[in-house]
Amino acid sequence: MKSTKILAVSAMLVLVLAGLLMSHAADTTKPAAKPYQLDTCAVCGMKLGEMGKPYVFTYKDREIKVCEKSEEKEFLKDPAKYVKEIETAEAKLKK
């Protein structure tokens, strides 16, 4: 009887600890990037998909889509410029 109580308490402690660990892991996950809403390349402005599947990467908290992987380097040379252009184009979509 005593060993049954010890076993039950131990099992409860394990469950509580597992719950704490899982909630901590959920808190440390990175939030999803803001989706890219345009149908054009962030760098060259061409319609995405015309030359194959777009290359997608994340810059800070934003998803960025370009025609090909090499354009990521161009984007990273002046990301503020491209993010501003993206935000301006997205604002026009909302109107």
Q: Write down the domain spans for the chain.
A: 1-30, 32-95
Contact between residue 37 and residue 93 where contact means Cβ atoms under 8 Å apart = yes
DSSP conformation class of 67: S
Closest to 72 measured CA to CA, from 30, 47, 41, 31 = 41
51 band by pLDDT with thresholds 50, 70 and 90: confident
Single pTM value for the model: 0.67
> Average of pLDDT values for 25-53?
86
Distance CA 58, CA 43 (A): 14
- Give the pLDDT confidence of 3-37 residue by residue, as tens digits: 777 765 565 656 666 666 666 555 556 678 999 99
Distance CA 36, CA 18 (A): 36
Strand residue runs (E) in the chain: 55-59, 62-66
Two structure tokens written together for 63:
């998803």
Q: Would you state the pLDDT for residue 45?
A: 95
Q: Would you state the pLDDT for residue 29?
A: 67
Q: Would you state the pLDDT for residue 10?
A: 64
